[in-house]
Chains A and B, each alone.
Chain A
Amino acid sequence: MNTGISLSNNALAALMADTLGKNAQFRFRAQGSSMRPWIRSGDILTISPLSKKGPKLGDVVAFSAVENSLIVHRVVGIKEQKYLVAADNATSYDGFFPVNVILGRVAGIERRGKKICVGLGPERVLIALLTRFRVRLRNHNPEF
């Protein structure tokens, strides 16, 4: 058996979906800087299955909307059972997505062995609203 494995986003998304489908959590290393400072490249994320009510405003969610993609961004709006998602550093939205492309929500962040609490608590709603405000200003978009 081999244990030194590097996985594609596609593989990670598939394994995450299967693990969450067993009502277990999924722990993996994040890559990228679009969610700085709350999530940094190299942080370990713990993804939990969604509750029956789906994600809430401000939740950071893992989703796979297109082939070979795995994105971890924040829900910044909810409209007609679709979720508007954007990175915290976004200049535009990722889009509105139905709940079935959202795999789970970030329940924990670890950085160099320490748990990071900021960005997932009550302040997540404020972060979501500020992101939406910033994107709207930048794009002169009155919708959301």
Chain B
Amino acid sequence: MPYEIKLDAAYRPSENVVAREIEGELIIVPITAGVGDMEDELYTLNDTGKAVWHRLTGSTSVREIISCLADEYDAPFDIVETDVTGLLTELLSRTMVVEIFPDNKSA
């Protein structure tokens, strides 16, 4: 099933994940059927991924995140957009983030 990332939507981490930065790495453990399983799924994000994850507050739109990162990394908007939407697509496909519609954004 394809996932479309909307630039005007905001996203936030799902209630069904544990995410913690440990020794410089952001580690994400999905909770599936009430179990956080270190033997099944465990993810880390690189520095760019971490920069995106920390901005997934549910109130900042994808467009705002991309603009912010493009400024921060002095990179073209469309290059950052590809990276950010690619990561969000993967996170969404694993139900690690949830979409907040533009008219329903909350902090």
Contact = CB atoms under 8 A, between A and B. Distances in A.
Q: Do A and B bind each other?
A: yes
Interface of A: 1-3, 5, 7-8, 10-12, 14-15, 18-19, 22, 24-29, 44, 46
Interface in B1-55: 15, 18, 20, 22-23, 27, 29, 31, 34-46, 49
Main SS class of interface, A: mixed
Contacts, number: 71
Interface residues of B, number: 24
B31 A19 contact: yes
A29 B18 contact: no
Contact of B27 (A5, A24, A25, A28): A5
Contact of B18 (A5, A15, A46): A15
Given A1-B90, A5-B27, A19-B31, 18 more contacts: A1-B44, A2-B44, A3-B41, A8-B22, A8-B23, A11-B20, A14-B22, A15-B20, A15-B22, A15-B27, A18-B29, A19-B36, A24-B34, A25-B34, A25-B36, A26-B35, A28-B38, A44-B39
A53 B42 CA distance: 31
A11 B34 CA distance: 20
B18 A19 contact: yes
21 contacts: A1-B45, A5-B43, A8-B22, A10-B22, A11-B22, A11-B23, A12-B38, A15-B18, A15-B27, A15-B29, A18-B18, A19-B29, A22-B15, A24-B35, A25-B34, A26-B35, A26-B36, A27-B37, A27-B39, A44-B39, A46-B35
Residue of B22, B31, B38, B45 with highest tally of chain A CB at under 10 A:
B38
A122 B36 CA distance: 27
Contacts of B15: 22
A1 B46 CA distance: 7
Given A1-B90, A5-B44, A10-B22, A15 B35 contact: no
B38 A29 contact: yes
Given A7-B27, A11-B27, A19-B29, A25 B39 contact: no
A14 B42 contact: no
Contacts of A8: 22-23
A7 B34 contact: no
Contacts of A46: 35
